[in-house]
Structures are given as C-alpha cells and as structure tokens.
C-alpha cells in the first residue's frame, strides 16, 4: 500500500476512536449521575499500527482496494464490565443508539475459542465528519469482564514471545487459567446484587462525606 499515505489514511480512524471513547465514558457517567449501576466500568481504544495492518493484510490475504471494508478492527474500542450480564446490557445499548449501526456480532463468551479466549465482539459502522464530508468507519468494540481482560492481556503478551506457537505446558496452563477466570465471573454474578448494594453504600457514604449538611458542619 505504498501509494497511500498512511498518516492521512488513519486520521478518520483516530477520530472515530477518540469520539467513541468520549461517548462511552459519558454514557458511564450518565448512569452514575442517575445513581444507577453502570454496565460500563472502563473504556479504552486504539488504532492499529501500520505494521500490524500490513501483517494482517498478508495473513488474511486482504487487498489494498478492500482494506477499509475487509479489516474491521483498524479502529478498536474495548469496554470492560464488572459482570458477565453487563456485557450483554452494553451490547443492547449499542443496538438502540442512532449514532452508529451494528453490522456484526461474535459471542466468544457463550462460544469460547479453543484457547480459552472469551469476549463479545461487535462491529459497528460509525459516521464521522471530515473536511470532505461524511465518512463511514468500521470499528470493532470488544466487551469483556475485568477477569476476561486480564487473561486476554497476558495471552496477548505471550503471543509476542511465542508467535502464537505456545509450548504445550503453557497452552494447557492458559486454558486452565481461562476456566478459572470464567468461574470467578460466574461466582461474582451469583452475588451480584450484594456487590452492587455494597458499592452503592460506599458511593452514598462518600457523597455524604464530600457534601456535609449544615448540621454536620456545626
């Protein structure tokens, strides 16, 4: 893709990531301001590096002409949740938004990968405004629990070392760790209401301490 200026090519993707991060963080803030449980805990995002894009083009046999439509994760958003149930709540929220369109979903929670990887992937079409008009960008949103994200981060780091060809012992340990991670999520879901009640108590207590009444000031 030497004839295309990469910096210029990636500008719309960077804009999409910046806008989406702000929107999802504001959505979390909205839930909290209404004193409601937010299914969104953390939001991060990134644009694929040029080297990563080129490597995936070679690996997936993606042509330069079809890059924008065939590579769906040049712009990537990651939403972390406390509970598995929150993941599906976030997915529902994506469907009802009018500023983006869901075009594909992959549930790796109900159907985990052989490696043990679990996450919920949503590909959206997101319109941005550029100097030449509107441009529709494909972006991938990965929704996962904190435990799923921890496992995935470790697995991703090991991938760099072993290039995907893990020793059998490491591979088995990763699978066991993935199962342990999912068991943790399941246990947390069973006491979800108690956890949320406790979190609400601490939130209310913190608010009271930060905003003392006139009686408290005396």
Q: What residues contact residue 115 under an 8 Å CB cut-off, 6+ apart?
A: 155, 171, 174, 175, 178
- Measured distance CA(81)–CA(40) in Å, rounded: 5
| Helix orientation angle between 168-190 and 146-162, rounded to the nearest 10 degrees | 170
Structure tokens at 80: 């972390």
Catalytic pick among 65, 85, 125, 140: 140
* C-alpha closest to that of 106 among 89, 123, 92: 123
In which element (H, E) is residue 85 found?
helix 84-96
Q: How do beta strands 120-130 and 101-107 pair?
A: antiparallel
Pairing of β 133-145 and β 75-81: parallel
Identify whether 140 is a catalytic site residue.
yes
> 106 — phi, psi (to 5°)?
-135, 115
Q: At residue 51, what are phi and psi to the nearest 5 degrees?
A: -60, -40
Terminal C-alpha separation, the chain: 71
Q: Which residues are marked as active site?
A: 140
């Amino acid at each position: 893709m030497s004839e295309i200026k990469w910096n210029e090519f990636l500008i719309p993707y960077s804009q999409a990531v910046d806008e989406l991060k702000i929107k999802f963080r504001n959505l979390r803030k909205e839930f909290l301001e209404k004193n409601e449980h937010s299914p969104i805990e953390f939001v991060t995002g990134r644009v694929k590096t040029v080297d990563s894009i080129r490597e995936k083009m070679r690996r997936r046999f993606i042509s330069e002409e079809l890059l924008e439509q065939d590579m769906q994760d040049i712009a990537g958003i990651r939403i972390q949740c406390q509970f598995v149930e929150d993941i599906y709540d976030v997915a529902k929220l994506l469907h009802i938004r009018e500023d983006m369109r869901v075009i594909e979903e992959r549930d790796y929670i109900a159907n985990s990968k052989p490696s043990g990887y679990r996450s919920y992937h949503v590909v959206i079409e997101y319109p941005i405004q550029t100097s030449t008009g509107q441009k529709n960008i494909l972006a991938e949103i990965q929704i996962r629990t904190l435990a799923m994200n921890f496992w995935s981060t470790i697995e991703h780091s090991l991938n760099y070392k072993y290039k995907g060809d893990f020793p059998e012992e490491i591979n088995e340990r990763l699978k066991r760790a993935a199962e342990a991670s999912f068991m943790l999520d399941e246990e947390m879901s069973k006491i979800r209401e108690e956890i949320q009640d406790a979190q609400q108590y601490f939130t209310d207590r913190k608010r009271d301490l930060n905003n003392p009444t006139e009686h408290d000031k005396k």
